Amino acid sequence: MVTDVRKQHDFTYVVISTRESIREAFRHMHKLADQAGFTVLSEQNDGIDAEIFVKTPHGQGFVSMSEGSCGQVIVVVELPGPPK
């Protein structure tokens, strides 16, 4: 479930809450990055938290995943927008 979307400076931030595990969320977010045509620059997944750093047509962004206080996984996506 998307819990927040906002634009700050030249970036769009999306916050997602899910009942998936970190590993499942990581797999889904990695697949979405590939489908969007982003280049994965680096990734880390230790099962407790995870990050995927990507290159988009407009610059670099990232997806971070961490366990929330109520058993959910919080996914934060930060992607650059097109230049002005």
- Residue found by looking up tokens 């970036």 in the block: 11
- Per-residue pLDDT tens over the stretch 3-61: 999 998 899 999 999 999 999 999 999 999 999 999 999 999 998 899 999 999 999 99
Residues in Cβ contact with 11 at an 8 Å cutoff, skipping those fewer than 6 apart: 61, 78, 79, 80, 81
Tokens (6 digits) for 58? 């407009």
Tokens encoding 3: 């819990």
- Closest by CA position to 81, among listed 8, 21, 1: 8
pTM, rounded to two decimals: 0.90
Q: Write the CB contacts of 24 (distance below 8 Å, at least 6 apart in sequence).
A: none
**Two structure tokens written together for 59:** 């610059």
pLDDT digits (tens, 9 = 90+) for 46-61: 988 999 999 999 999 9
